[in-house]
Amino acid sequence: MKALAAAGAVAVLLALPLVLSGYAITIFILIFFYAYLAQAWNILGGYAGQLSAGHAAFVGIGGYTSALLFERGVTPWLGMFVGAALAAGLGAVIGYLGFRFGLRGFYFVLLTVAFAEICRILASNVEAVGGAIGLYITFTGDPRHFQFRDPRAYYYIALALMLLATGVAALLERRRLGIYLTAIREDEAACEALGVDTFKCKMLAMVVSSFLTGLAGTFYAFQNFSLQPGAVFGIPLSVEILIRPIIGGAGTLLGPVLGSFILTPLAEVSRQYFGQGGLHGAHLVVYGLLLVAVVLFLPQGAYPFLRRLLRRGAA
Amino acid sequence: MAVGLTLIFGVMRVVNFAHGDMMVWGMYLAFILATRAGVDPYLSFVVCAAALFGLGVIVQRGLVDRIVEAPHEMQILLMLGVALVLENLALLVFGPEPARVRSPLGQLTWELGPLYVDVARLVTFAVAIVLTLALWLFLYRTELGRLIRASADNHYGALVIGADVRRIYATAFGIGAACVGAAGALVSPILPFQPATGLALSVTSFNIVIIGGMGSLVGAFIGGLLVSVAESLGAVFLRPSLKELFSFSLLIVILLFRPAGLFGKRLP
Amino acid sequence: MTALLTVAKLSRRFGGVQAVKDLSFSVGEGEIVGLIGPNGAGKTTAFALISGFLAPDAGEVRFRGRVLRGLKPHQVNALGLARTFQIVRPFPRLSVVRNVMIATLGRHPAPAEAERRARAILDELGLGARAETPAGSLTLAERKRLELARALGTEPVLLLLDEVMSGLNEAETERMVELVRAINRRGVAILLIEHVMRAVMSLAQRIVVLNYGERIAEGRPEAVAADRRVIEAYLGDEGVPSAPA
């Protein structure tokens, strides 16, 4: 039953570009892209319960790496894996330091923020990687360079990414690692007493999460054709990444996706609406209010809430 | 500034991410008072403190109170939400351009032997010391202050002796916010500010409090001194834009090796 | 009877307090040994030292012939030593069966098999009917049994039970005693910390008494109950431990 619904939904999404306008397609690209990032974050922040407010760093590293490699003639199709690997490397470092030294909760958040900010500052100040101006990618429109003239290509790639991340999360949920992670989120010491190597599990979650996020960096770079240190390493992006799974439902499979479907159009609409009047940042106020509301009233997120509603409706 | 944060944390173990953004509102308030009412920020800081006290209490009663018992992630997210709201409301209301408050005091310098001392900063420093002392006296010598400290040490114990814990928490949060309001006003002539400054200030506050030790007043004060000295030194040796690098690196080192800071208690 | 666990001159201090001092005792295969003493005598600290949650300042712990030094709790557990916590720690948002699966997955990585074994343990401990409920909504007695179920899931040869009877009424205590006996009959050695004297006296073959971190007596239950030093140690606390009825 569930599989049928899922297949149906995917079929619909596949068919959409045939009927949508150019602008709508752009919105969907964003929805999928952020859902992908949300899902990647979810693996560490949702399932394992280790909140990270510095995930933008992985996007930045992934993007910058493939952009710089592209300048030297390496195709981004290869570059993206190198970028993701480097991002995973940073993730491993942060994870090692954080978990080895027993940093939990707030302290871990600070650690991630510190690293992300350091990356941003370095990127802004080192001329070799573009400095404060950032990097620009020469437009060739060549698919071999991960560039497409038709936005629908980006649509399908973004959709594929989202499905990939969701697939990884789904796989994780059923296997031992995923089950361990949900328990680690509840009580680490009790897990240790039951024979779970919590350090290894958390490291795995961290590396997978940062690798996937790193891949997104390349997509971002070659869709926007530019990388600004503030935009791609900064806290605002980290907030965008973490807010969707939190509002949608951290630690659930569809929560991040739902979160993106709710928030991304909302953000776009308010950017359009308020941005015209010169009122920037309105959508962030909405984010903030939603975050507060969710924490107070729906701590598990929108998706579990909806699920319960549907169940009660069916009963 | 850091003293306020440590108070909030020490008493309620709630981490206030919105700290920096509250401070920015303090700054803007001082700005308004200065431009509209012509009140010098060195005087208006009292008003700013009071206003932010109110804001703090509202935030605490309305929001934080409900989640005092909740898992930490929830608290972090809540304050993050508040921070987002505050920062972007400021953006909406005041615009993204940096602002600065003018004060006649800001122009003065004294000659002290071979040194030129910036009077504005001196006054700020002096007021900070006075406020810190006042806070110390309050916490250690008054009934309410003792209650606050007791609640910090032992939440249930305080309940048992019949203390109105909610009121205590609200007061503590309010005072923390008030500190920040005062700080904002005092600093407004010195530091150009914009809504985005909120984040940098929050981070600095956390830096200071972590280094000095969460929950310790003395620690916050000493931490503040240490961090500013470190940052100034950093600015001397490295490019100014890199001085943030220095403080973040310091934060990481401290996080790893002494998360309790020099004087503080550990987050459970 | 070969010694399964040997604790030799174990010591640990916290700041100014010597929590455990020169503690030595052993547990043989299949034995049930009780660890008693007034509050604050260092019993839970001893558990933490043995199970790898704390590092000793001095002394050594030998388990199955192997010295446990610098091992993390999960490694100690993998060797066959399981412990429960004084204040039970279920995973509240996970279902009861998932709670136990965390334990069984250790030796049976395939989730399907782990679940099967988890359910079997739950049935044995009378929690079968509650398998799908979130652990957070269990009663105290049920949580105690869940704690026991989880520890069993790791297939230990030595089980450290920390006040597993506390907070239970008479009927629940009886049931727990029977369960512990049944587990022991299967060959699992048990070291239990208890304040419920009736339970300790009837379960334990041998008792070690701690006071202020030091062993002050050891022997069969009746002997320990009559020991003057033990009586004095308890007089300030709960009164005299009495021999089984």
Q: Report whether pLDDT(B205) > 60.
A: yes
Amino acid identity at C201: M
Residue C215 and residue C172 in contact, taking contact as beta carbons nearer than 8 Å: no
Give the strand pairing for A226-227 and A135-136. antiparallel
B78 and A296: CB-CB below 8 Å? yes
Nearest residue to C132 via CA among C144, C148, C115: C115
Residue A208 and residue A214 in contact, taking contact as beta carbons nearer than 8 Å: no
**Which of B88, B95, B203 comes nearest A285 by C-beta?**
B88
pLDDT band at residue B197 using 50, 70 and 90 as cut-offs: low
Nearest Cα residue in chain B from A97: B256
The rounded percent of chain A whose pLDDT value lies above 70 is 96
C91 and A190: CB-CB below 8 Å? yes
A193 and C153: CB-CB below 8 Å? no
Mean pLDDT of the residues in chain A: 85
Tally A–B CB contacts below 8 A.
Answer: 120
**Which of B74, B206, B249 comes nearest A118 by C-beta?**
B249
> Å from A179 to nearest chain C CA?
7
Identify the pLDDT of residue A250: 85
Contact residues, chain C, for A187 at CB < 8 Å: 89, 91
> Å from B131 to nearest chain A CA?
28
A106 and B252: CB-CB below 8 Å? no
Identify the pLDDT of residue B245: 74
The answer to whether A173 faces chain B, any CB pair under 8 Å, is no
Nearest Cα residue in chain B from A98: B256
Q: DSSP label at B267?
A: P
Reported ipTM: the value is 0.83
A295 and B244: CB-CB below 8 Å? no
Q: What is the pLDDT of residues A156-171, one digit of tens each?
A: 889 999 999 999 999 9
Q: What is the pLDDT of residues B5-64, one digit of tens each?
A: 444 443 333 344 445 445 555 555 545 554 444 455 555 566 666 666 666 666 666 665
Identify the pLDDT of residue B5: 47
Task: Answer yes or no: pTM beyond 0.90.
Answer: no
Identify the pLDDT of residue A145: 78
Nearest residue to C77 via CA among B174, A4, A290, A191: A191
C89 and A174: CB-CB below 8 Å? no
Q: Say which residue, B71 or A232, is predicted with more confidence.
A: A232
Residue A210 and residue A88 in contact, taking contact as beta carbons nearer than 8 Å: yes
Sign of CA dihedral A54, A55, A58, A60: negative
A107 and B259: CB-CB below 8 Å? yes
Average pLDDT, stretch A188-212? 92
Chains that touch A (3 or more CB pairs under 8 A): B, C
Q: What is the pLDDT of residues A272-310, one digit of tens each?
A: 776 655 555 667 777 778 877 887 787 777 888 888 887
A296 and B66: CB-CB below 8 Å? yes
Residue C208 and residue C35 in contact, taking contact as beta carbons nearer than 8 Å: yes
Identify the pLDDT of residue B233: 62
Report the C-alpha gap between A54 and A303 in whole angstroms.
24
Nearest Cα residue in chain A from C105: A176
Identify the pLDDT of residue B180: 65
Q: What is the pLDDT of residues A227-269, one digit of tens each?
A: 888 888 888 888 889 889 988 888 888 889 998 998 888 888 7
- Give chain B's length: 268
B23: its two tokens: 């401070």
Q: What is the pLDDT of residues B104-146, one digit of tens each?
A: 555 555 555 555 556 666 666 666 667 667 766 776 677 766 6
Touch between C and A (at least 3 CB pairs under 8 Å): yes
Amino acid identity at C72: K
Chains that touch C (3 or more CB pairs under 8 A): A
Residue bearing tokens 């299949």 = C30
The rounded percent of chain B whose pLDDT value lies above 90 is 0
Identify the pLDDT of residue C181: 92
| C-alpha pair distances (Å), C206 with each of A76, C27, C160, C192 | 70, 9, 15, 11
Identify the pLDDT of residue B115: 55
Residues 162-221 (A) with a CB less than 8 A from some CB of C: 174-176, 179-180, 182-183, 186-187, 189-199
B195 and A281: CB-CB below 8 Å? yes
Q: What is the DSSP string of B221-253?
A: HHHHHHHHHHHHHHHHHS-GGGHHHHHHHHHHH
Q: DSSP label at C72?
A: -
Mean pLDDT of the residues in chain B: 61
Report the C-alpha gap between A208 and A251 in whole angstroms.
15
A279 and B92: CB-CB below 8 Å? yes
Q: What is the DSSP string of A172-215?
A: HHHSHHHHHHHHHHH-HHHHHHTT--HHHHHHHHHHHHHHHHHH
Q: Report whether pLDDT(B214) > 50.
A: yes
Report the C-alpha gap between A184 and A191 in whole angstroms.
6
| C-alpha pair distances (Å), A283 with each of A88, A89, B89 | 31, 33, 10
Amino acid identity at A51: L
pLDDT per residue of chain C (245 residues) written in tens, 0 to 9: 568 898 989 899 888 888 888 899 999 888 999 998 888 788 889 999 999 888 899 999 999 888 998 888 999 999 999 999 988 889 988 999 999 999 999 899 899 999 999 999 999 888 888 888 999 899 988 999 999 999 999 999 999 999 988 888 888 899 999 999 999 999 999 999 988 888 888 899 999 998 888 888 888 888 888 888 888 887 755 555 554 54
> Å from A196 to nearest chain C CA?
5
